Structure 1
Amino acid sequence: MAITDIRVFAHLTEADVDALGRELDQIRTDIEQLLGQRDADYVRRAIRVHRGLEGAARLLLCAGRHRATRVAGTVMLACAKSIEMMELGHNISHGQWDWMNDPEIHSTNWEWDLVGPSAHWKRSHNVVHHTYTNVYGMDEDLGFAVQRMTRDEPWRPIHVLQPVTSLLIAASFEWAIAVHDWALVRQHRGIPDSGWRATPNAEFARKIARQVGKDLLLFPALSGQGFRSTLAANASALLLRNLWSYVVIMCGHFPDGAEKFTTGQLRGETRGEWYLRQLLGTANFHAGPILAFMTGSLCYQIEHHLFPDLPSNRYPEIAERIRALCDKYDLPYTTGSLPAQFWQAHRTLWKLALPDRLLRRSSDDAAETRSERKFLMASPTTGRLLIKLETDPNTGVRQGLRTALAAADPLLRSTNPVGGQWLRRRGTAALADPRPPQARKDDR
């Protein structure tokens, strides 16, 4: 199963985790004290870029009569909608700019340009997802409730269709998010299926009418005889925005190294352990300034989950300090190129479409679902299972998770009773008796 004890998995003591938490709190304090005009200028500039880009795109689509003009307008509109969704809608709704006390750029007032109401999304995303990040059974964003992304979820025949359903989700990502959030809000408020007059239903219906009317009726109508071509261009821009946002989101929690957790980890979870879970449960990808802007700075997913309400333009400098902390505590900092992270996420999706009996690794040592049991060793004196903590003989520094992970695969290929080929063949049930097969056979 996934991680049940994050301190054991991370090879950290309780004092280590508390110290890590204090250092992360200090980073937050330092950044909060720096916020000022530079940050306010950034978000206002981002709003101007978005509005200028969308305005120019609408003008090209309404007035343009040539194919090249309409293609340019479609791409520009897709970019504008991506900026609004991720750099503006997502980050403003997280309260990243609430400290400015500007009613236009406040999380309570901003309504994003998606069919799902911002209020629904803030409940399911800000409250549920960011509180229970990658906790199986609690985080409904773990596979968006329809995809199997961890071996903790029992396989069902419907999962065979994941390679196909993932394409449908990507193409309709805006609607998938909206329906997902709407369902969670209804569930939270205890609204029955028959309660069609309930407030969440009315909010959802109004937002659908607004978005569909604006993009698929009003602006095409303004084109006059170009109604059909503008309608096609708007629909294409929405599709491009859906595909792009799907790619970015899949790279945040599903590449190799983005760990999953059980509800057992939540019992008595400290502030330091919550930080550690965010650090280990998320993944970044490499991006320059322009790509970062187009992703809403979600290329810094680790920093975003540690500090979701700090302004996104501060993530690059925060990332430098997070990397230094990972080096200090010997923790992995999961990142890679955008294509590599997306490939790993989809490799997991395709792999977990199959039943577990067809997969090689167990639910404790697979790339997408690891646990502290991956590192369990048999004590030579007591036979009990324990995590073996090593100390660097040259520096005297205790080696942590990053070193343990680097050594884990060679260990799995060895014949060590726990963590070797025997464990791979027998599965995690073999951990009930850490002795090798021959010793067990001798008892019979």
Structure 2
Amino acid sequence: MSTATATKPTKKKLSPKQIEAFGNELDQLRARIVADLGEKDAAYIRDIVNKQKKLELAGRGLLWAGWFPPAWLAGVAALSLSKIIDNMEIGHNIMHGQYDWMNDPQYTAKNFDWDNTIHADSWLYTHNYVHHTFTNIVGKDHDATGYGVIRITEETPWHPIWLLNPVYCGLLQIFFQWGTALQELESEKFMSGEKSWEEMKPGLRRFRDKAGKQALKDYVLFPLLSGPGAPFTFVGNAAANLVRNLWASSVIWCGHFPEGVETFSIEETEDESHAQWYYRQILGSANFTGSHWVDVLSGNLSYQIEHHLFPDIPAYRYKEIAVEVRALCEKYGISYHEQSMAKQLLSVWKKVLKLSLPDSFWTKSKKAGIAEVITFPVRNKKQPAAA
């Protein structure tokens, strides 16, 4: 994977003609990859699914002998990896329709369900449709404003409750599977009176059905099957879910929330062309670098920019696509945001800490000449999509 760092934003403004030319080249790139899809791609996902199933079997078996500490630790490790791969490289990507072209029911978006609390229908709506259509548009993309749980953008007005912003962020990471399962509800709108109880009911039913089955499997069925080792299996399943939640949320944070990633207003994205949509996806996403296994365990969302451009192309192809996307961005003077995972995650947490305090605090601190502990650049004025 490339070790390139984020390209500095250019002051050059692209004309509508240049943006359309840029979009044209991306369309051509996509067409070449789609035309090349075939048996090697099918073999890749089948191999990943096979490995994930073996890891799950190993993890469950080792937890059955969880009274022996080395077996318990090995079981948690194997089950954690299984859940991460099922969530990131298999579930997330299959439900994006990346393998629908295989015409194999096991690998189609409409049939797939994962080892998670999120109902597939809820995910397909909140993630595939809302997030990927309206990426980082404040007022349309719930992800852009921290899921209504954390303050991750200055567009969210400061309130004393945000003094606990780092706590909310940490708790969301720990309970990430439950937070995403409830995202469809947008419960903050219910609390403010924007949504009625009747409007909440369909989402609550989906949550009850899927999350209930998942909790029953992890915390009742498998522990009972372990007999006297039930407590070890119960705690082992909870530990594996925690590891998966912390990893998955860190991957998402790195791709969406670092400093330098743009948000957009509804007004500036009205009547947006497909090329302008491409342009927004790049400005509103970030990549992170790492090893081959970081790519696999992140579901190749280490290439979040390429994923936002081509969400329905097999994710393991993003590495080869990134070479051309990076070159196109350099050609047109478009910022391509990429750093190590550690740097991106640190950037996010600096932002979370910064935004926990009133905006005026930092303005006054600067005027008084007080040095800032956390560096946080003044937001750039966003370039209109058709500029």
327, 331, 356: which one aligns with 1:328: 331
- Contact 1:220–1:227 at 8 Å: present in 2 too? yes
Query: Does the alignment pair 1:177 with 2:180?
Result: yes
Number of residue pairs the alignment of both structures matches = 361
Contact 1:259–1:368 (CA<8 Å) still a contact in 2? no
Query: Relative to structure 1, is the Cα distance of residues 166 and 126 closer, same or farther in structure 2, using a 3 angstrom cutoff?
Result: same
Structure 1 residues 368 and 127, CA gap change in structure 2 (3 angstroms): farther
Q: Which amino acid letter does the alignment assign opposite residue 275 of structure 2?
A: G
* Alignment CA distance shift 1:238-1:44 (3 Å): same
Residues 292 and 299 in structure 1, CA contact (< 8 A), matched pair in contact too: yes
1:147 and 2:156 correspond:
no
d(CA) in 1 for partners of 2:362 and 2:34?
A: 47
Contact 1:300 1:315 in 2 (8 A): yes
Matched residue SS, 2:21? helix
> Aligned residue for 2:379?
369
What runs of 5+ residues in structure 2 fail to find an aligned partner? 1-9, 368-374
The structure-2 alpha-carbon separation of the partners of 1:9 and 1:89, relative to structure 1 and needing over 3 Å to count, comes to farther
Amino acid at match of 2:379: T
- Between the aligned partners of 1:337 and 1:251, the Cα distance in structure 2 is 9
Structure with higher RCO (Cα < 8 A, 6+ apart): 2
Contact 1:348–1:368 (Cα < 8 Å) also in 2: no
Amino acid in the other structure paired with 2:279: L
In 2: Cα distance, 1:77 partner to 1:236 partner:
9
* Maintained 8 Å contact 2:258/2:347: yes
- Match for residue 46 of structure 1? 48
Please state how far the C-alpha of 1:291 moved relative to its aligned partner.
Answer: 1.0
TM-score by length of 2: 0.89
Q: 1:349 aligned to 2:349?
A: no
Q: Is the 8 A contact 1:260 1:281 kept in 2?
A: yes
The partner residue of 1:262 within 251, 265, 271 is 265
The residue number in structure 2 matching 1:70 is 72
Give 3-state SS (helix, strand or coil) of 2:285's partner.
coil
Deviation of 1:132 after TM superposition, in Å, equals 1.0
CA gap of 1:249–1:368, structure 2 versus 1, over 3 A, is: farther
Deviation by residue 1:334-392 (Cα, 9 ceiling, x = unmatched) = 11111100000111111011111112489xx963732148xxxxxxxxxxxxx9xxxxx
Pair member with larger Rg: 1
Tell me the amino acid that sits aligned with residue 95 of structure 1: G
Shift of 1:203: 2.6
Residue 291 of structure 2 corresponds to 288
2:230 is aligned, of 227, 231, 246, to 227
Query: Shift of residue 156 of structure 1?
Result: 1.1
Aligned match for 1:193, one of 172, 175, 197? 197
Change (3 A) 1:235 1:259: same
Superposition deviation, residue 65 in structure 1: 3.5
- Structure 1: unaligned runs, 5 residues or longer: 1-7, 374-386, 388-444
SS of the residue corresponding to residue 215 of structure 2 reads helix
| Cα drift, residue 171 of structure 1 | 0.6
AA at the equivalent of 1:230: T
Residue aligning to 1:274: 277
Residue identity over aligned pairs, in percent, reads 40
